[in-house]
Amino acid sequence: MVVDSKLYDILGISPDASDAEIKKAYKKQSLANHPDKNPGDENASQRFQEVANAYETLSDPDARAAYDRYGDADGMPGMGPGMGPGMDMDDIFGGYDGQRIVFEGEGDQLPDTKPASIIFELKQKPHDTFQVRNLDLLATVNIPLAEALLGFSRTILTHLDGRQIHVTKKQGEVIRPNQVDVIRGEGMMDQRYLDRRGDLFISWNIEFPPDDWMRSTDAELWGGRFTGETDPIMHAFNESLSYDKRMWAQDIRGSQAYAKALIGCGILTEKEANQIIEGLNEVGKEWENGTFKAAPEDEDIHTANERRLKELIGAVAGKLHTGRSRNDQVATDMRMWMLDELDVLVKLLKELICVMAKRAEQEVDVLMPGYTHLQRAQPIRWSQLLLSHATYFLNDLERLQSIRPRVSMLPLGAGPLAGNPFAGLDRKKLAEDLGFDAVGINSMHSVSDRDFIVEMLMWTSLFSVHISKMAEDLIIYSSSEFGFVQLSDAYSTGSSIMPQKKNPDSLELLRGKSGRLFGNMSGFMVSLKGIPSTYNKDLQEDKEPLFDSIDTTKACVQILTGVVSTMTINAQKMRGALTTDMLATDLADYLVRKGIPFRETHHISGSAVKMAEDRGCELSDLTLDDFLTLNPAFEADVQKVWDPEESVERRNAIGGTSRRAPIAGAVTTSTLALLALQSVSADVDADRPKFVPSTVEGLFVEQFTPGWETRWALSKTSKIQSGSEEEFKYDGIWAVEEPTVFPGLAGDDSLIMKSKAKQHAISSLFDKPITFDGTKPFVVQYDVKMQNGLSCGGAYVKLLNADAGKLDSAQFGDTTPYSIMFGPDRCGADSKIHFIFHHKNPKTGKYEEKQLKAPPQAKITKVSTLYTLIVNPDQTYEILVNNDSVAKGSLLEDFLPPVNPPKEIDDPKDKKPSNWVDEAEIPDPKAKKPKDWDEDAPAMIADPAAKMPSDWLKDEPLMVPDPEAVKPEEWDDEEDGEFVPTLVPNPKCRDVSGCGEWLPNQIPNPAYKGKWSAPMIKNPAYKGEWAPRKIPNKDWFEDKQPNKFASVGGVGFELWTMDDGIAFDNIYIGNDPEKALKFAKETFEVKLPVEQKREQTEIEKDPEFVQGRSRDQPVWERVVSHIRHRTNVLVDRLTTENDKVHVLLQSKDILGFYAAVVAVLLGLVGLTGSLLSGGSSATVPPTKKVDAPVPPTKEDKKEEAASTAVPTKTTVTKRVPVTESKQ
């Protein structure tokens, strides 16, 4: 009997369900509750997650047993019995000094006593930054006077959970001494209402300069010529640090490179240059950590960095500016900053294009009206509209990249205007060190040129036009009048007064931002007009419009990417908006095909439209007689014109709406994404070898080279879910393209599953079936790449049975007979490599499924894995993963049910005699319980020496209602129930030993002996293990050559998975293991190192990306995810690699974790034993004899024989070429 059936109820099964029933129920519930199948249902995601959590627990035998016994641990996967939910930082933030957390009745329980309670008392340590006031936090932040007056945008402090608190104060927002600002919702968590927090109060402490700072003339870079003081207003008017400080990293990099260059001029020694470089590194760390303090005299980022450098390293810092002016310095910083931003923009734009192309590919079947002048024009595909906008963005991408060469011209070394006067300054080396493509060829041009900024502002303006156009389309289509598109809640807002409204604010803001970007461009161009040659202070006005335009554009791209990836479409409403009058052009085209000139057909079609309007009917409602009154060329086939699908398919020229048209077709929509990827990844993928097809031949070889679509066909059938009447179409999307996760060879396409939680089916039929005479080896080999992992689903291949009837790719599904199924499969913790074949019963003529008894474990990775099956003429088989043998055995012995049935079977009529005794041992009837044996004595008793402390307040409760609790204004007694204040620790109990009922401590009972039982003796009546007699099996036959499989007429993938992105490639089917090995060496073994190198690069950059974890996960989830990932990696490597010791040495982290767990468990066991034995080491005389070993039964011997016949799963041998022998 189970304690809790909630998880069983979620899956819709009974607590006694088998593993197969659990798995089947999981697939059914996953499909039924998948968010893709429940658009608009806000609870679908939660139900879907509950189904996944239920399966994760119930599919693991240990977790299921613990759940049945202890119930749900707050619904949190990965937690063992008896453990509560993990405590995240929010829980800790909600505590307060002196708080007592009481778990009533959760302590030790002794016989005949009330269970003790567990009490935790929180002691709060003083914090360096924060003070606590109820739920609010208070922090003091120091800022220089310049920031108080002129504004800033930076991180001011680090929160308790490690997040950076960023504050922006615009110019004009002056901070006054002792001013306090409030940041809402950044305080402590309210334990009563978990979604509420206190506030964070920031007290500003302004650091004023010394009284004589204005008299320090050497503070100005241009001091010496001037003796008067700068007016404070002029100083504020002149400064640019408040906004150009974002270039701190570029300014430091430029100065470090210039310091190296000054060595060649003899200005700096190598020691001095290194001193400057190290000092600048320290300055950079201060900027990075948010600890850099600006001084009042800092005009801009250049003076700020130089001033701080001088403070750190002394007078040698003054040499750095030798031969360098702020004119060439700022121009260099601007270009470096813009080059960095170009890379970011290119990446964001590429992601947007890929999202749009992928969406277009998935929704290519959706038809909708196309519009001109906002009037319905012709039927189009929704994908055509999406890709039209994506093409604008692709052109924008190309234009953006064309700016780079004109930005990448080094100004440094041009001096103020006339060049650098010091011989030995190598500007080409400077350009190389700083990543510039070339050196500015004219010093006066270099310091004054801002054309590259104008180009960038022009680009952002044109790009904003394209974003505005797409935003306007989506705004119109999301309106109630159209209803084609619905934005997700994440990118919509509501009305402050009209609750029914869902406003597309994200799109309206995108549309509105174009005006801002145009203003930045035109404003700066006006600033440039009339400036004389070389540098003028007017050029300081270049930064704010540039910074703002790039920031705005990046935000626009990210918002639009989010909108496109999360919006939903109403395909039915789109299709329903199509009317036959939109096919008037098709009617004219119909007559053109009859030989009538288009101008005449246009008039005839218009007359038909007028006729339909006059009659108030659809154009398709006109009869053939009606059309014949307009022109005698009309025939009965005119009715075919009214199919909108046919209309879009007829437009199959390049760029058209037909599936067969390049770019817009279902298979080739990814072309646009690939263009975007290839256009920006040349530098990243320069080390990727190019794909070269192998020339190895076999019975069937597929590398998905051009023309693959003539060899493969999609299924058009459907599938009836077992146990229900629900029908599922094979509508999963396939594409042939390069994998995007850890890409391998350039140009190496794979067959990729593009949909999640959908039925996929695709097959390739052979011109001539493969037959088997049993005299040759047979090899099936392919590689598979789980780009997004494999949580539940298969990646196996089926060899289709040609003897069971005619094969039809369009009807290929789960009921299509197959000869062999081979490949990986995984659901939860259950991972295996299937090898199943259908054997023809020679007596009945029916095919029976034979499954490998002990399938080896599958290897689930995001790089390619090679799976090979070899069946030999001697009826043996071998399974290899990445050319390493992981299983081998016999077709005759290792499959269930066995190929050949037993020759003899148990006689079903033979029954065990009623007087048969099969108990080998019985309790000794002569044994007597000792008289002094007390079975009722408890194991633990109250300590007679214990006394209640004199200050114990037994009449005071531990927790009392919070006297300061106030019912919230929004509290609704009808909906929320009666308001009950939260309980807080009783203040009367704080300074005493305890409150409430006092119970003495428990100690071991010296009189405890436990229940007595008699010792066991041999049973004199024992007759042995009974077994029925054997009789001949009438169904017996003997097939010594099960490798004579049914003929194979094709190969196919018929799969359902929870994950998309599974890529199949390099399929080899043949009779030669050596050729299969050669094929693998020319394909798989060439691309695998490339993928592994890319994987290692990504791991070094972001280990969480590879492990598939999100930084937004709670800490406990990330810990569990990391442990699960590292465990899976260790198991996979131990299963597939030869050097086990090397693998273990490389896995010290996860082994250390499990060692710690074992140590804790052993400690708990020891502690429990010590408590039960009273801490004494004296042994207790045994009261019951140990059972003698029971002789093995016949069934035990059978199972033992069967287990020894199964090859050890951890046996790994390296696959090497073998010399071909005669069949």
Catalytic residue ranges: 373, 495
Is there a contact between 748 and 1046 (Cβ–Cβ < 8 Å)?
Answer: no
Termini Cα distance of the chain: 59
Q: Where are the strands (E) in 524-575, listed by range?
A: 568-569
C-alpha closest to that of 584 among 615, 543, 559, 619: 619
User: CA 421 to CA 668: how far, in whole Å?
Assistant: 59
Token pair belonging to 127: 């914090």
Map tokens 């001084």 to a residue.
295
Please name every residue paired with 1030 in a beta bridge, in sequence order, or none if there are none.
906
8-state DSSP, 770 = E
Strand, helix or coil at 305? helix
User: CA 1027 to CA 1193: how far, in whole Å?
Assistant: 9
Please name every residue paired with 1056 in a beta bridge, in sequence order, or none if there are none.
759
For 591-603, give the DSSP string. Answer: HHTTT--HHHHHH
Strand, helix or coil at 850? strand
E strand or H helix at 108: none
Q: Where are the strands (E) in 1157-1219, listed by range?
A: 1213-1214
Q: How far is CA 366 from CA 50, 126, 133, 232, 660, in A?
A: 32, 62, 58, 65, 16
519, with CB counted inside 10 A (0-12, 13-18, 19+), is middle
Dihedral angle computed from the Cα positions of residues 295, 297, 299 and 302, in that order, rounded to the nearest 10 degrees: -70
Is there a contact between 910 and 980 (Cβ–Cβ < 8 Å)?
Answer: no
For 869-926, give the DSSP string. Answer: EEE-TTSEEEEEETTEEEEEEETTTSEES-SSPPSEEE-TT----TT----SEEE-TT
User: CA 562 to CA 511: how far, in whole Å?
Assistant: 15
C-alpha closest to that of 780 among 833, 730, 830: 833
The upper half-sphere exposure of residue 560, i.e. CA atoms within 13 Å in the direction of its Cβ, equals 35
Q: How far is CA 755 from CA 389, 503, 731, 787, in A?
A: 23, 30, 9, 13
Per-state percent for the chain, helix, strand, coil, to nearest 5: 40, 20, 45
Strand, helix or coil at 265? coil
As a three-state string, the secondary structure of 398-449 is HHHHHHHHHHCEECCCCCCCCCCCCCCCCHHHHHHHHCCCEECCCHHHHHHC
User: CA 365 to CA 385: how far, in whole Å?
Assistant: 13
Strand, helix or coil at 991? coil
Give CA 89 to chain center in angstroms.
Answer: 23
C-alpha closest to that of 986 among 121, 100, 96, 92: 100
Is there a contact between 789 and 860 (Cβ–Cβ < 8 Å)?
Answer: yes
Is there a contact between 1040 and 875 (Cβ–Cβ < 8 Å)?
Answer: yes
